[in-house]
Chains A and B, each alone.
Chain A
Amino acid sequence: MAGDAPVFDEMNLADGAVRPAYETLARWLKTIPTDLLATRSREAEALFRRIGITFAVYGDSASTERLIPFDVIPRVLTNDEWVRLSKGLTQRVRAINAFLGDVYSKREILRAGLVPEDLVYQNPAFRPEMNQQAVPHGIYVMIAGIDIVRVDSETFYVLEDNARTPSGVSYMLENREVMIRLFPELFSQHRVAPVENYTDDLLATMKSVAPRSASSDPTCVLLTPGLFNAAYYEHTFLADKLGVELVEGRDLFVKADVVYMRTTGGPKRVDVIYRRLDDDFLDPLVFRPDSALGVPGLMSAYHAGNVTLANAVGTGVADDKAVYSYMPEIVKFYLGEEPILKNVPTWRCREPDELKYVLEHLPELVVKEVHGSGGYGMLIGPKAAAAEIELFRHKLAQDPSNFIAQPTLALSTCPTLVEEGVAPRHVDLRPFVLTGRDKVRIVPGGLTRVALKDGSLVVNSSQGGGTKDTWVLDS
């Protein structure tokens, strides 16, 4: 677990043997010249650029549209590994939904003293406005992205839950399309579970959670903040694949507690909104009054039960890093089951004993801001300069409850094409879990993110991470 622990490589074991899942791929990698791989890699980039997959990087005004690097060597999971993972994911998301339903109604978990009250009430992502307000079919998180890391052949940890508007699924889908075009021979040698049904699953999920007052063929839309949003490409991509309108706030209006969109044929009722717009901006009559991106009156229609928002408002309270540390208790409390997926061991700096331990072991630990995301505001102890450690010591003393700490995990590595050739790089995995009224749907795999810098553990695309296609092999 410490910084110098042996790193688990998903292809090559420490003794030089190749793990069974990678046998065919390893043979192929031996036969294919590196410069051919590099050529394919450039072709892949050209394809991505042509279809317009871009990603806006904050604070990088010169290139507001940048391509996320794509690595052509796939990451491989066996069906057995996947079955275990998907059971754990389903369980975790069920627990998240139960937790949200509870904190916005009866608050039994707070009464039971299992989760501290202030962690919920003082949480910026908690939305008091959702208190005692029913949501259609009682489902809060229809679309979740759960970040998973692996540390050895047996152990997967949940690193982070994303219960607001997880992004990245378009990369999962496009990566596969590009791989099939570039390396058809690999797909005839492997039986790779398909992912292309994701958008059909998403549409089925959305329709299943339509409000009761909707017609039998509910109208779904995707609400985007607009083309200056970092994930705008993904919004257009998904709307296109779903066959639903990509709307901005100004395309919608509310009349008598029903949401309509402005169309060339007149107003049309909207039943389900897959919204990629943050809570704060949804409705200027309820949240930020200066928001021009939202729909005035939307929350009133929502509370009247005439429209479904996916995800619900206020789901962020469940993916907060401080609440994260309580997830094992949350799973047990609502489901009466042992968690299938483990949490990374986490010290809550709000608790004095744990803070003491953290302060004594700063150079070994990763310290994260409770409400931060995207890898910002984070201390990686073993890689940090002394001054940075002292800065965090100061921050921790000032506001301990704003931080958690975790051991520096030896994330698993996968073979990756870099300038020097094929070399191991650290990876994580974001599977997407869809929860409908009828069932939970997860396409096999997810988005593998890879830290392209040698030794780096930061896989975030906003900090130079790349992506890989993720294969779940049929056994």
Chain B
Amino acid sequence: MLSRTADNLFWLARYVERAEYLARIIEASTRLANLPSAYAGTSNEWESAVATAGCAHLFYQAHDKATRETVIDFLAFSPDNPSSIRSCFEVARTNARSVRTALTVEMWDAINAAWLELSKYRASGLNQDEHLANFLSFVKETGLRFDGSAYRTMLRSDGYWFSRLGVMIERADNTARILDVKYHVLLPGAEQVGGSLDYFQWSAILRAVSALTAYHWVYKESLKPWLVADLLILNDQMPRSLAACYESIVRNLDSLSLSYGRQGPAQRAARATRTKLESARIDDIFQSGLHEFVSEFITENNRLGAAITQQYLT
């Protein structure tokens, strides 16, 4: 297929995934911010939302203070934020338009309908909780609909594999980023271990990657920070864990190399990261530094994205 088409499919999938993640961040932050400070602590949840979304630098160019209004506006609607939900949908639709022939009707419908629907929501209306909830579920449903359409209707050929690679690389990045920002609440601390403050932080992290129920099914325990980290990093049953993302990335890259009859740096890099995740144990990760581990992962994941671009998309 055309390199440009593959590039568009890859980024289209990434942007839809990112939009959904942003919706979850806003949702989790709203919950935390609404808790009495006795439960949630005095930290500014909106500051950490901006950090988790990876756009703190841009945000503070536009706003002095992270409040509910400024953050929701910036993450959801701001045209100045190239990664706002609005911008994500806009870029996704532009990408979709320019590769219409590579999309199924269902995928196009999902994107096009979302773009038309988006115009109904205004930042000002979202001060009311009900509107915000509707908006966030609309964004999450768009992600589900797009993903489901791709899964159910796309030919299993290179276009599908590039699209999956986009989803997985973005997803791995998002999960790693939330760990990167929140790692401190997962570390064993002197005073607050087991305290209610961290409990709600942990559940917020799990909510942001829609893994709260999964946690209970997997561990059958109350929330423990190292288990939260284990679930998000190493548990390959958990669809948003780094391990599950890389299992999928390696599989899709293998399909590409089989189909094209050759492999390159992207396949080698992905396998190396996957092997690392397979052989790691959560105790060791805590021992040698959760923060270092996650930062290194983010760098490797970005490098893989660049390798895929170099090898296939230009």
Contacts and interface: CB of A to CB of B under 8 A. Distances in A.
A and B together in one complex: yes
B260 A264 contact: yes
A226 B63 CA distance: 36
Given A248-B4, A251-B2, A251-B4, A264 B313 contact: yes
Name the interface size band of chain B: 20 to 34
B2 A227 contact: no
A227 B98 contact: yes
A236 interface: yes
Q: Is the interface of A mostly helix, strand, loop or mixed?
A: mixed
B108 A52 contact: yes
Nearest to B261: A265
B306 to A, nearest CB: 16
Given A52-B112, A264-B312, A245 B97 contact: no
B100 A264 contact: no
Contact of A245 (B2, B162, B256): B2
B314 interface: yes
Contact of A264 (B3, B105, B109, B112): B3
Contacts of A259: none
Interface in B1-28: 1-6
A285 B97 CA distance: 29
Nearest to B116: A49
B158 A264 contact: yes
Nearest to A238: B101
Interface string B280-314: 00000000000000000000000000000000111
Nearest to B314: A262
B98 A264 contact: no
A111 interface: no
A239 B4 contact: no
B1 A240 contact: no
A50 interface: yes
Contact of B3 (A51, A232, A251): A251
Name the interface size band of chain A: 20 to 34
A236 B1 contact: no
B94 A236 contact: no
Contacts of B1: 245, 263-265
A266 B97 CA distance: 24
Interface in A16-63: 50-52
12 contacts: A52-B108, A226-B98, A232-B97, A240-B100, A240-B101, A245-B1, A245-B5, A262-B2, A262-B3, A264-B1, A264-B158, A264-B313
Interface of B: 1-6, 94, 97-98, 100-101, 105, 108-109, 112, 158, 162, 256, 259-260, 312-314
The 10 A-B pairs at the shortest CB distance, nearest first, are namely: A236-B100, A262-B3, A240-B101, A264-B312, A265-B260, A227-B98, A264-B6, A227-B97, A239-B101, A251-B4
Given A52-B108, A263-B2, 9 more contacts: A52-B100, A240-B100, A245-B1, A262-B3, A262-B314, A263-B1, A263-B3, A264-B312, A264-B313
